[in-house]
Amino acid sequence: MSQIDAVFATLRNSERKALIPYFTAGDPSLNHTYAILEAITAAGADLIEVGVPFSDPLADGPVIQRASQRALASGTSLSKILALVGKYRRSSEPSSGQALHQRNSPPIVLFSYLNPIWQLGIEKFADQARESGVSGVLVTDLIPEEAEQIKKTFDRCDLDLIFLIAPTSTDERIRKICSLARGFIYAVSRTGTTGTRDSLSGDLKNFIARIRKHTPLPIAVGFGISNREQVATVWECADGAVVGSAIVREIERSVEAHSGKIPTEVDLAKRIKGFVESLIPPRL
């Protein structure tokens, strides 16, 4: 059982759902990223998605695009992110003899395009990710028809390969994706790019039901979820809610509030912790 499996099993036994915050690593710096990881953990996140900045994003809206630009400008790279995640996982609790990916701090899921992983090397990336304590990887532009070799490599390193499923996906494509996925399924709440929205699709429950016909894996919903009410709506039909652009925008606002200067790690961490706490509906 992977750490992601274990978290969802614990939540299911407690009749609870997952909150999965996302933010872009290196925005505004890797030192701030470390502080944000600590803040999000303290706020009660069940899993954490860490975005790998990329120069040519396809699925990201303007908020995350700007975050990627800031992160790349600060010198962020995939290798540096893996090193930072390893540092965080080692320091998040006393050593217990467990491998980093088996620790009890929230599982880390890397959210990346294929190109940065390809540039590092699939085998090298998988080995380093496992050594750093990464639990899963979501490759946004990896299609199932081209996933076989990556899946074999990730399986060897006990990395959960997570896929996106869009509302426009046919039942046959949903079945194919579910046959390859591990950890959980990321259901895209709507077509288009990432970004906050005032409301969620009225067809969300039917979409989740379509996916459940093809897999026993937990289903998390993302894209456009930005407040407590929307998290609660997602929790009614899915196993987890991913909040990304709203958190990234909060980081950007913190910079703006300091007249364009980078806030201290303490100030930014405090702001993000409070914002993530505000997203959590009452739990039983």
Q: Each residue of 108-166: pLDDT tens digit?
A: 999 999 999 999 999 999 999 999 999 999 999 999 999 999 999 999 999 999 999 99
C-alpha to C-alpha distance for 77 and 26, rounded to whole angstroms: 8
In a domain, 52, yes or no: yes
* Residue 222 belongs to a domain: yes
CA–CA distance, 63 with 19 (Å, rounded to integer) = 20
For residue 206, the surrounding DSSP H or E stretch is helix 204-212
Q: What was the pLDDT predicted at 195?
A: 45
Q: Domain span at residue 154?
A: 3-279
For residue range 191-213, list pLDDT tens digits in order: 544 544 455 656 899 999 999 99
Residue 142, Cα to own-chain centre: how many angstroms? 16
Whether 253 is covered by a domain: the verdict is: yes
Predicted pLDDT at 100: 61
Nearest 5°: the CA angle 243, 248, 251 is 135
Catalytic residue numbers? 49, 60
- Evaluate whether residue 218 is within a structural domain: yes
Q: How many CB atoms lie within 10 A of CB 218?
A: 20
What pLDDT does 74 receive?
95
CATH number at residue 65: 3.20.20.70
**284 part of a folded domain:** no
Kindly state whether residue 165 falls inside one of the protein's structural domains.
Answer: yes
What's the CA gap between 90 and 88, in Å, rounded?
Answer: 5
Given a cut of 70, the residues of the chain with pLDDT beneath it are 59, 92-104, 190-202, 283-284
Nearest CA among 2, 139, 151, 23 for reference residue 81: 23
The answer to whether residue 265 sits within a structural domain is yes
| 122 belongs to a structural domain | yes
pLDDT value of residue 34 = 97
Which pTM value belongs to this model?
0.92
Q: Provide the number of structural domains found in the chain.
A: 1
